[in-house]
Structure 1
Amino acid sequence: MKTQLLSTLENARQYTLSVAAAMPAADYAFKPDTAVWSFNDLLHHIGYGILWWNENYIRQQPADWNPPAATKTAAATQAYLTKSFDILQKSIEKADTDEKVIHGVYATLDHIAHHRGQATTYLRCKGITPPEYTF
């Protein structure tokens, strides 16, 4: 089970980082509507969400929702995403894969997919074809 979880996580990591890299750095402030996050804020939210879900559901250490200020550049945001995925991967490698952990991993992946789907829409709004999804 752990091998499957790590493989699925790696696929999510690669695709998420590909989506992040597809947006030109100069367009990270883009938002398709004033009522939504910028592309940068959206990706930062994914990174923080990974960390929050990791604490609460993988490590099972209750943590309040208290996101830090968003990173300011494309490079910093992509580094934050990479670090978040690294931390989650290490937690999964160390965890017993009981039902709570498995549920936590899939809940985390669901949250990533939800917001990554929004990010691909932002790309299309800028006339950018999102990277091909692989599974």
Structure 2
Amino acid sequence: MRKLLLLACLLSVSLVKVHAQVSGEMVKEILVKDWERAKAYTNEYLNSMPADKYGAYAVDSIKRSFAQQMLHLAAGTFGLSASGTGEARKYVGFNMEQSKGAQSKDSVVYYVNEAYDFTISGIKNMDAAKLSEHVKRGNLDETRLSWLMKSFEHQTHHRGQCTIYIRLQGIRPPNEKLF
């Protein structure tokens, strides 16, 4: 009876470990799918704005042009996602948002797509078991999954802000890409 109970306990522990690993891999798959969708959606935004309007501001009191909003989206994606995936941060010390050389349509498209590719690759390459691992950044202490979710929320927020910039140019913004 003891042997049977021991065997049942060992089997239960093994199943829990397998389930946790499968669940972590499923979370990674969902994250990759959502980030790939977000990249495609953001590219529709980037392509809908004419190149000569990348320097446009929504109103005088808003401190970021369309280009700066998108560069801020990219910078945040690099930083927050690095905390989530464990990849080394890119462009540390480079304020792409304020760099005049980074604000052309071609440069903005480059940096934004590089940020999405950095995140997607980092998620694909990370160990799913580390999603629950805590990472400190400044006075914040969050799980890797939480950092990735914050990064996703950040890019969604700034892309959404760009809807107004596009509408003010008399252009209809891209349709929602929820799925």
Same fold (TM over 0.5): yes
* 1:50-87 CA distance string (max 9 Å, x none): 11112223217689x84523312101100111111111
1:107 aligns with 2:150: yes
1:81 aligns with 2:107: no
Higher strand share: 2
Equivalent residue number for residue 56 of structure 1: 83
How many residues of Structure 1 are paired with residues of Structure 2 in the alignment?
A: 134
TM-score (norm 1): 0.90
How far, CA to CA, are the matches of 2:109 and 2:88 in structure 1? 26
Runs ≥4 in structure 1, deviation > 3 angstroms? 60-63
How far, CA to CA, are the matches of 1:73 and 1:105 in structure 2? 28
Structure 2, unaligned runs of 5 or more: 1-26, 133-142
Distance change (3 Å), C-alpha of 1:28 and 1:108: same
Structure 1, unaligned runs of 5 or more: none
* 1:78-124 CA distance string (max 9 Å, x none): 01111111111111011123232221221111000100010011111
Give the AA of the match of 2:124.
E
Equivalent residue number for residue 54 of structure 2: 28
**1:39 alignment partner, one of 50, 62, 66:** 66
After superposition, the CA RMSD in angstroms is: 1.9
TM-score (norm 2): 0.69
1:11 aligns with 2:42: no
Quote the sequence identity (%): 24
1:129 aligns with 2:155: no
